[in-house]
Structure 1
Amino acid sequence: MVTAALVLHDSLDKICKTSPGRCYEDEITTCSPRGRSSLFFRSKVNLSEQAEVKLGLAYRVQVPSSALQRSRRVQSDDTVMMVVTMINSSFFPPTPRRSRSRGLISQHPVSIQQTVLGDRVLFVKVGSQSVSNLTERVQLIFNNEKMVKNGRCVFWRELHLMNETGQWSTEGCNTITTREEYICSCNHLSFFAVLVNPELNSKVDERNAASLTYITYIGSALSALFAFGSLIIYVALCRRRPEKALGIHMQLSGALLCLHLSFLSCNLWIFLLNEKEDSWVCRGLGLFLHWSLLATLTWVALEGFHLYLLLIRVFNIYVRRYLLKLCIVGWGLPTFFVVICGILGVYGKYTMEIRDSNNHTSTSQICWMSSEFQQRRLVMYITLAFLCLVVLYNFCMLLLVVFKIWGLRAGRKDYECSDWKKTHKERGTSLWKDCATVLGLSCVLGLPWGLASLTYATLPGIYLFTILNSLQGVFMFLWSVALTCKSKSGNNSSVPDPSSQKMMTTSFNN
C-alpha cells in the first residue's frame, strides 16, 4: 500500500505552518521525486488539446484547452508545464472558524470536523499564471472505493494571516456523485479534496425540492395576480374614503406584487438563458428581488407601527403628511441599502446544491446574491435579522389586538340580552369574526414569515412555510375583499354594530 506522503519524500520535510498551500506549491513545482510514481505527473502538455491525467486507478484530472491557454506566460507558447500529484491531508490543518468574520473566512466555509476522503489532497498546477473564473470548468474525479456517502468537493483557501493557515471551501466547485465516483467541477486550479459527511440539509432531497419548487412557482404566480387585484381594490377604496390605513395596505400590496414578480423573473431568466457567467441583467434582477423583499418587510413593519398608534396612542394623534413620511421610510430605506450592496457587487448568480436519496448532488441557480461575493453571508445575516425583528414586533402588536378584543368582549356583557339561546348564538358568531380578524391581521402583519424557524425542524414545517408565504398575495386579496364587504355593510346599516369585529375593523381603517 502506498503511504501518505506518496511522492514528495524529502521535499515535504519542510513544515509550512502558516501558508501550507503556497509552500507546498513551490516545493511540488520544483522538486524531482525519487524514481517513478504513478501518483505524480509532471510534463509539458499541448495547449490546443484538453489535458487528461490519471493518477493510479483512483484519480483523474481533465483540464480544458481554454484553461491551459490562460496559464501560459506569452502568447507564442505552444506547450505549458502541468503538475498533478497527491498529498497527505494532514499537511492542511484548517483554522478554527471565527465567531466574527471580517471577510477573511470563505463564503462557503466547511466544518473542520469533517474528514478528507482517503486522507488525500489532489494538487493541480498548470503553467506559471494563476487560473481562476473559468468558463469551461476543470473536472477532477475521485474514486469512491468505500462507497462513502455525503461527500462534497472543496478546495484549500489560504487566509494569509499570522498564526492562521486556511480552510476548506466549496466556492467555485460543484459536486456530482455517482455510485463509485465523486466528480468535482471547479472554475479554478488549486488543492482539491472531497470532504465526507458534510453538514447538508437531509430533510430536502431532490424529489421534495422539485415539489417545493412547483408550489413556490404556482403560489408566487397566484400571489402576483391577486396582489395586483388587491392593489386595484385599495385604489378604489381610497377614492371613496381616503384613509391612511388603506394607503398603507395599498403600498404593501404594491411591494408584494414587486416581490413575486421579481422572484418569478429571476427564475425565468436562469431557466431561459442558463448563462455560465453573471450578466448585468442577472445582477439587476438580483438587486430588484432583494429590494422587493426589504420593501415588503419594511411595509409589514409599518403596518404594525400604524396598528400600534391606533391601539396604544388612540387620542391626540396628528402627524403632518403621515403617509408621505411612511412612504419615504418604506421605499427609501430598502433603496438605500440595496444601492450600497449593488456598489459593493453583492448581486449575481447564486448556486444551491441539492442531494437526493441516492446521494446524487444537483445544483439550482437563481439571480440573487452572488455565490462569488465574499461578504454574502454578512448581507444575508443582516436581512435575516431585520426579518426576525419585524416578525417579533408585529407578533407583539397582534397580542395587543387579542387583548383588545378580549376587553371589548368583556365590556359587552352588560349589553347582552336575557335570551340565553340568542346570546349563545351571538357569542359563536362573534367568536368566528374575532378569529377571522386575528388571522387576517396575522397575514397583513407578515407573521407567516416567522414560520421560517420551522424549516430547520421538520419537512412538514418547510412545506407549511413555503405554502403560506408563496400565497401571501392571495391572503392580502382576501383581506381587501373583507374590508370592501365590511365597508358596504357599514354604509347600509343605520344602527352601528357594537361587536368587537366592527370596532376593530373601524379602528384599523381610520
Structure 2
Amino acid sequence: MGAKIQNLSQPIEIQYSNVDKDNVTIGCKPLPDVCRGANASVVQHRDVMKNLSFVLELMGNSGTATIKMGNITGVIAKLSQEIQANLNFAFTENAGVMIVKGGNSNFTGSFRLMKIPKEASKMAVERNGSFLGILLFPEMHADDSSKYYLNSEIVGIEMGAKIQNLSQPIEIQYSNVDKKGANASCVSWDGNRKSLWITDGCQTLETNNSITCQCTHLTFFAILMSPPPANISASDVNSLTYITSIGCGLSLFFLIVGLFMHVLVRKGKASEATKILMNLFVAMLILNLSFLTNESISNLGIKGACVAIAAVLHYGMLATFTWFFMQALHLYLSLRQICTEVKHYMLKFCITGWVIPAVVVIALLASQKYNSININTNEGKAATMCWISDAGVHQGVNIGYYAVVFVFTLSVFIVTVRQIVLMSKAGKAQDNSSIKSNTSTILGLFLLLGITWAFAFFSYGPLLLASYYIFTILNSFQGFFLFIYYYKSSKIIGDGKIHTQSSSTATSNTAVTSPYA
C-alpha cells in the first residue's frame, strides 16, 4: 500500500450482501489515510480507487459488498469471467446501496443511479479486470469559487482495467435536482493534472428534475454547476420569440416564392451570381423551416426526432454561413475579373457550400452532441429546443465557424464599398437617384454577406439586449429582404431575357455597378 496505516479513529466498514448473516462491520486491511479525510484531493482519491482490489480478498464467496470508509461510501462487485451483463446500482437516501435489476429505477426520494453497460464489463474482463468499484466522495469543492459540484461530491468508478471509447456509455443519473437557476455540465477528471476537469467524452442530459451523465470512459465524474449567464427577462424572450416567428414565417414564404420563380421562369437565363443566391435561399429555407418546427419536436420527448431536427437546424445554419462566404468569394473574384478563368466554377462552389457543413454536422452526430436543451430567463425555464447539448462545443464550433466567415465577408464588403465610393468620386457630383442607388447596393451587400449575424455572435455588455433585438429583426426577416433584392435586381423584359438592374451610380464619365448584379 506504500505506507503502514493502523489505529484509525474512524474504522473502515465493509458490508457484504448475498450472505447468510446480516450486514456486518469487519475490521480489515486499511486503505490509505486519505480515506478518513473529506478534504482530500482528487489525486489522493485516485489512490483509493486503485487499491480497491484488495477488498476482493475479504469478500469470500460474496458477489457484492457495500463499502464505508469514514464519510466515503460505495459498492464493489465481482465480475464474472464467463458471463458479462449490465450492472446497475442505486444509491438511495433511505435504503443505502441497492442492486437494480432490469433497469428498474422506481425509487422514492432522491437517488443516484449508476448504470454500467455489458460492453464495459466485457472490456474489463478481456483486460484482466476482475471487479467493479463505485465510490462517492463527499465534501468536494471546485477550484473556481463561483462554481460547485452537485451535492458537493464526485463519483469514482474503477474496473481494474483501462476502459474508454465505449459505444454504449455508462450513465450516472441524479434525481430530484434543484438547479437553482445554475447550468449543469457533466465533467470528468483527465487523470493527468491536479483538478483538471474536462467535458470530453461526457454528455449532459436533463429531463424534468433529473440530470444524467453519459460517458464513454471510466475515471472520476462530477456534475459541475455554474452560475447562469445574465439571462434576459421573460417578457423580452416572449417579444423576441414573437418577432422571430413572424419574421421566419414571412421569410420562409418568400424564399419558397423566390425559388419557385427561379425554377419555373428564370433558371435557364440566370447568372452565376443569381445561382449562388438561390443556393443561399435553399440554405436559409432549411434553417427557417427547422427553426420553426424545432420546439414542437422537442416537446414530443422523442430523442431520435430531437437529434434529427437539431442536426438539420445546425446544418441549415452552417450552410447559410458557408454560402455567405461563397457570396463574398464570388464578389471578390468578380472584382478581380477572374471568374471565367475557373473551370467548373459553379460545381466547385456547390460542393464547397454543401459538403463542408455536412462534415461538421456528421462529426457532431458521431460524437452524440445533439439533444434537448433548456432556454432560461431570469425567471427560470422558458422553453426547450433541440440543439447542441454541450455549451463548449456550441461556442467553439459555431462562433469559430462564423468568425472565419465574418472576417472574410467583412473584408470583401469594405473593399467593395471603398471601390464604389472611389469610383463615384471620380465622376461628377452625384444626384439624388445615384446616391439612392449606391445606398441600395451597399445595404444589399450587407444582407447578402450575412454581416448582420455578427449582432448575435459578438454582442456583450450593456448593448446585449439591443443587439438581440437588432439581430432578431434583421435575420428573421432576412429571407424576405433577400427576396426583394432578388426581385428588383433582375426583371424579365419583352424578349424573354433576364435584364439585371445594375445598382449603379451613373455619371457622365463613369458608372459604378455592383459586380453582384
- How many residues align structurally? 423
Q: 1:369 aligns with which of 359, 377, 388?
A: 388
1:476 Cα deviation from its structure 2 partner:
0.9
CA contact (8 A) 1:152 1:175 kept: no
> Which amino acid letter does the alignment assign opposite residue 386 of structure 1?
Y
Residue 433 of structure 1 pairs with residue 437 of structure 2: yes
Aligned residue in 1 for 2:347: 324
- Give the direction of change, closer, same or farther, for the CA distance of 1:427–1:175 in structure 2 (3 Å limit): same
1:174 Cα deviation from its structure 2 partner:
4.4
1:438 Cα deviation from its structure 2 partner:
0.6
In structure 1, how many angstroms separate the alpha carbons of the residues matched to 2:512 and 2:261? Answer: 20
Aligned residue in 2 for 1:51: 107
CA contact (8 A) 1:308 1:397 kept: yes
Residue 473 of structure 1 pairs with residue 479 of structure 2: yes
CA contact (8 A) 1:45 1:51 kept: no
CA contact (8 A) 1:269 1:282 kept: yes
Q: Name the SS for the 2:370 alignment partner.
A: strand
Q: Name the SS for the 1:508 alignment partner.
A: coil
> Which amino acid letter does the alignment assign opposite residue 274 of structure 1?
G
Aligned residue in 2 for 1:291: 315
Residue 162 of structure 1 pairs with residue 181 of structure 2: no
Aligned residue in 1 for 2:240: 212
1:316 Cα deviation from its structure 2 partner:
9.0
Aligned residue in 1 for 2:88: none
- Give the direction of change, closer, same or farther, for the CA distance of 1:261–1:44 in structure 2 (3 Å limit): closer
> Which amino acid letter does the alignment assign opposite residue 288 of structure 1?
V
1:448 Cα deviation from its structure 2 partner:
0.8
Q: 2:272 aligns with which of 230, 237, 244?
A: 244
1:155-234 matched pairs, under 5 angstroms: 157-159=188-190, 161-165=191-195, 167=197, 172=204, 174=206, 185-186=211-212, 198-234=226-262
CA contact (8 A) 1:220 1:471 kept: yes
Aligned residue in 1 for 2:140: 89
> Which amino acid letter does the alignment assign opposite residue 456 of structure 1?
Y
- Give the direction of change, closer, same or farther, for the CA distance of 1:361–1:288 in structure 2 (3 Å limit): closer
> Which amino acid letter does the alignment assign opposite residue 107 of structure 2?
A
Aligned residue in 2 for 1:352: 374
In structure 1, how many angstroms separate the alpha carbons of the residues matched to 2:392 and 2:193? Answer: 24
> Which amino acid letter does the alignment assign opposite residue 469 of structure 2?
Y
- Give the direction of change, closer, same or farther, for the CA distance of 1:472–1:397 in structure 2 (3 Å limit): same
In structure 2, how many angstroms separate the alpha carbons of the residues matched to 1:317 and 1:234? Answer: 23
- Give the direction of change, closer, same or farther, for the CA distance of 1:263–1:87 in structure 2 (3 Å limit): same
Aligned residue in 2 for 1:335: 358
CA contact (8 A) 1:114 1:195 kept: no
Aligned residue in 2 for 1:20: 45
Aligned residue in 2 for 1:114: 146
Structure 2 unmatched ranges of 5 or more: 1-8, 14-32, 56-64, 72-92, 122-133, 158-167
Q: Name the SS for the 2:270 alignment partner.
A: coil
> Which amino acid letter does the alignment assign opposite residue 333 of structure 1?
I
Q: Name the SS for the 1:429 alignment partner.
A: helix
1:274 Cα deviation from its structure 2 partner:
2.0
1:63 Cα deviation from its structure 2 partner:
6.3
TM-score (norm 1): 0.65
CA contact (8 A) 2:506 2:512 kept: no
Q: Name the SS for the 1:30 alignment partner.
A: strand
Percentage of identical aligned residues: 21
CA contact (8 A) 1:124 1:191 kept: yes
Residue 31 of structure 1 pairs with residue 59 of structure 2: no
In structure 2, how many angstroms separate the alpha carbons of the residues matched to 1:191 and 1:303? Answer: 48
CA contact (8 A) 1:233 1:480 kept: no
- Give the direction of change, closer, same or farther, for the CA distance of 1:199–1:432 in structure 2 (3 Å limit): farther
> Which amino acid letter does the alignment assign opposite residue 114 of structure 1?
S
Q: CA RMSD in A?
A: 5.0
1:237 Cα deviation from its structure 2 partner:
6.3
Aligned residue in 2 for 1:78: none
In structure 2, how many angstroms separate the alpha carbons of the residues matched to 1:156 and 1:349? Answer: 17
- Give the direction of change, closer, same or farther, for the CA distance of 1:390–1:361 in structure 2 (3 Å limit): same
CA contact (8 A) 2:374 2:381 kept: no
In structure 1, how many angstroms separate the alpha carbons of the residues matched to 2:382 and 2:46? Answer: 29
How big is each residue's C-alpha offset from its partner over 1:102-140, in whole Å with a ceiling of 9 and x where there is no partner? xxxxxxxxxx23254999549899xxxxx98779x6424
Residue 61 of structure 1 pairs with residue 110 of structure 2: yes
CA contact (8 A) 1:205 1:354 kept: no
- Give the direction of change, closer, same or farther, for the CA distance of 1:266–1:7 in structure 2 (3 Å limit): farther
1:209 Cα deviation from its structure 2 partner:
2.8
CA contact (8 A) 1:230 1:476 kept: no
CA contact (8 A) 1:85 1:124 kept: yes
1:299 Cα deviation from its structure 2 partner:
1.7
Aligned residue in 2 for 1:446: 450
Q: Which has the higher helix share?
A: 1
